[in-house]
Structure 1
Amino acid sequence: MINQDIPEDVICCNIFSRLPFKLVTCLKIVSKDCCKRLTGTKFAAKQATLCPSCPALIHIGPNKESYRYSLDVLSSTPSIVGVPSSEFDFLGCRLDNGRFDILASTNGLLCIRYKPYYSGPLTPPPTILLANPTTQQSQSIPGAANHLDITSAIGLVFDPLDDPQGKTHKFMIVKAFPLSTISDTLVEVKFISFSSDMGRWVTSSTMITANMKEVICQKVVYASGVLYWDYQEDLLWFDVGRNEVGSIKMPWKMQGFNGDEERHSIDVSCNGLLMCTTINKDGLAIYQLVRIDYHWELKHTKGWKSIMEMSCDEFQFCHSMKLRNGWQNKFYERWFVRPLGLESGRWVYIGVRQKWKTSDKVLRYDMDTGKVENTGKELGNAFVMRCVFGYRNSMATLPPIVVPGLQDGICDGKSGD
């Protein structure tokens, strides 16, 4: 029963709005008035700004039973974090005729690519959709097929804090494409973006010539107004509000270590800071990017020997190694170990596979206690390593896409790359 000493407006808009989605849905049965408030647009806008910023990690994979792609949520608190349904029926695509990939995840919204399995003269191009799994809403991005190819790594900008009332929410999709210059070490990077309040694809005048390798981008994340592209040894950043760009070497590169021995993941902490988790033969380390002068600050480190001595039972799947002396030191050599993502700035999810023979076994490392838990989940298959994104189950509505006039068109005419 609701406490009579506290006004219902305060309870619904300032207390309930801070809870994850599953708890909010359970509270709808408190009363008819409470249900009405919790399903209104005002509450959705408030919840989008106050709910936990990164309570879970999310990825897309094929269901072993139906072979259809679905969402899978990794969380330290699975009982309260989730989505109404893991299926993709609300996207309006043929679920048995194509594959789905998450391109970006920002503040509850996902950018998803749908690609038909078979290609031919009549096969439609890949479809890029913006979706909110919590509200089961989706809409396709016009003109995306002409500007985003199958290898495009894009960033999604969406921040409910820009408009707490939810009246003028907008989103932006940004693609960075590097172009080789006359030097083997210098790369010119340009940006093309689509904004919902303009409804057009526009080439930005902002560009950067960076000293970096031209490699495939592994992941793009958005944190506190800045997009970050992970180019393995280099981090490219784009401050959307200030229209400023820059680049910085990854932590191990700045320390002079061999990048071939490092595996890493960039993620957003619960307070909106960019974090980089690195794994090598010695153990794991977590760095935080300080934006004042853009440098890396070491926040946590732990060796494999210490981790395994504290959580020996969780590594039973590689029990054969215990027959050898110093088996902890051989762990990184005999198994392919990679960080999957960082949840709430505390839990590091780690994927462990026997090189290219198996799918990833998902472990969860607690930075506060130093212990490891085997989640019992598996990720990907023997030939695919899927990317995991941070996720918050926000009830924010999808911003409408403005339809440009006939004289403007969907493209500014300068974005062909």
Structure 2
Amino acid sequence: MKNIPIMTPFFTKEEIEQIQEVLQSGWVAQGPKVAEFEKAIADYEKVQYAVATTSCTTALHLLLVCMGLCDKHEVIVPSFTFVATANAVEYTGATPVLAEVYTDTYNINVEWVQELIDNNYDNKDGILINKKNGKILFGIIAVNLFGLCADIPKLNDLANHHGIKIIEDSACALGASINGVHEGGFGNPSCLSFHPRKSITTGEGGMILTDDAELAASLRQMRSHGASISEVNRHSSKGYLLPEFNELGFNYRMTDIQAAVGVAQIRKYDYILTERQNKAKFYDSLIKDRISYLKPPHVPQGYLHTYQSYVCMIDYKALGLNDVEKGNEIRNKLMNALEEIGVATRQGTHAVHSLGYYREKYGYKPFDLAGAYECDRMSLTLPLYVQMTNDDQIYVIETIDRIIKNI
């Protein structure tokens, strides 16, 4: 029996050295190491400013607050995403309007969104107003899911036409790009995650990317209780005096201990990314040769996929089934059998509109967003990490095929 986890972080002695440096410095809260990590990420993603936070969820919340989102607004959010995307909107008092996704890229369906806007909003003096409830459409959160960018150029065109904002939830997508332009480089603010399942990790942690100096300054102030000056600046001059607090802010600060791990991780990210991409290609070839009912991740031309997760779709019709719920039973039996023999898998993520809170509050039914629901029920994430061997990958694919045939 093998033990193949869904993901394991790639650490070397550099992380220990960086942490030791911070501990010996005596400055372990947010400080110079966080600033170093922020600059490293900003340089990597080719943006002007990066603002570290405690998680991608708090990054999204902080960003939306600083952009002015409130209870008079609505924000379009793809349904097939981790619940945190929609939750961040809820935290502000605004309403998330859940949207359909493509079943090949798993990202937001631009044509569906355009139809939603055309059918449900009136343009009054350049502002989109919901015909039923009078709320203002603030913008769209484009989730760059699993390491693949959504169609940001088309979404930007749509947003510019309607006078709304685009925010990129790039929790999974550090380094993802379209025709060489990195996520966060299309003129929209973007949020990253450094959770342990991401390609690089700080344990927990997030980052907001922007080219807007005023927004970056607001984010830095609001992540630290709304303090008028940073802790580093305060301690460099009359540190015994507390700063002024003119805004109701948050404690969303990353520690220098976490940032130390991040600094070591980003330095080896090119290697991590190359390894993940090579292993993804190997999975692609194995699936093509051996499993006709499994659809590997689709990558449009010009897109760079970073494979934070290697997410497939089980083609239930290829298994002779004509119902997604029957297909889901097979998917779940497969995942259970794999778990029992030590191979970890996951569904890709969930369809938010099918989750209890959103079901009950907004009255969604599963097939209201049939594509997102199918992704929820039929997606399958395979193990993928730097230390994984080709033999491990062959074992995973052969075991999947054997189990499916037995089922």
> Under TM normalisation by the shorter chain, which class is it?
under 0.3
- TM score, norm. by length of structure 2: 0.26
Relative to its length, the structure with more helix (as a share) is 2
Which of 1 and 2 has higher RCO (CA within 8 Å, sep 6+)? 2
- TM score, norm. by length of structure 1: 0.26
Relative to its length, the structure with more strand (as a share) is 1
